[in-house]
Amino acid sequence: MSAADPGPAIEIRGLVTRIGGSVIHDRLDLTVRRGEVLGLVGGSGSGKTVLLRTLIGLLRPAGGEVRLLGERLGPDTAPAGLEQRIGVLFQNGALYSSLTLTENVALALTEHARLPGEEAERLAGVMLALTGLPPAAGGRFPAELSGGMVKRAALARALVLCPELLFLDEPTAGLDPIGAAAFDRLLVTLRDALGLTVFLVTHDLDTLYAACDRVAVLAEQRVLAVGTLEEVAAVDHEWVQAYFRGPRGRAAQRAAQP
Per-residue pLDDT tens for 134-178? 989 999 999 998 888 899 999 999 998 889 999 999 998 888 888
- Contact indicator for 196, 166 with CB cutoff of 8 Å: yes
Distances (CA, A) of 95 to 104, 107, 252, 257: 7, 11, 31, 36
Asked whether residue 1 carries a pLDDT value surpassing 60, the answer given is no
Say which amino acid occupies 96: Y
- CB count in 10 Å sphere of residue 112: 13
Q: How much is the average pLDDT of 61-70? A: 92
Strand order in the sheet with 71-72: 22-32, 10-19, 63-68, 71-72
Provide the 8-state DSSP code for 213. S
Residue 38 reports pLDDT greater than 90: yes
pLDDT of residue 185: 92
- Which residues partner with 89 through β-bridges? 168
Q: Look up the CATH superfamily of 1-68+170-238.
A: P-loop containing nucleotide triphosphate hydrolases (3.40.50.300)
The number of residues making up the chain comes to 258
With vertex at residue 243, the alpha carbon angle to CA 231 and CA 68, rounded to the nearest 5 degrees, is 60
**Would you say 41 and 25 are in contact if contact means Cβ atoms under 8 Å apart?**
no
Sign of CA dihedral 35, 205, 235, 167: positive
CA atoms within a 13 Å half-sphere pointing along the CA-CB vector of 216: 26
CA neighbor of 27 nearest in space, from 40, 39, 18 = 18
Segments making up each domain of the chain, as ranges: 1-68+170-238, 96-164
* Mean pLDDT score of the chain: 89
Higher model confidence: residue 27 or residue 246? 27
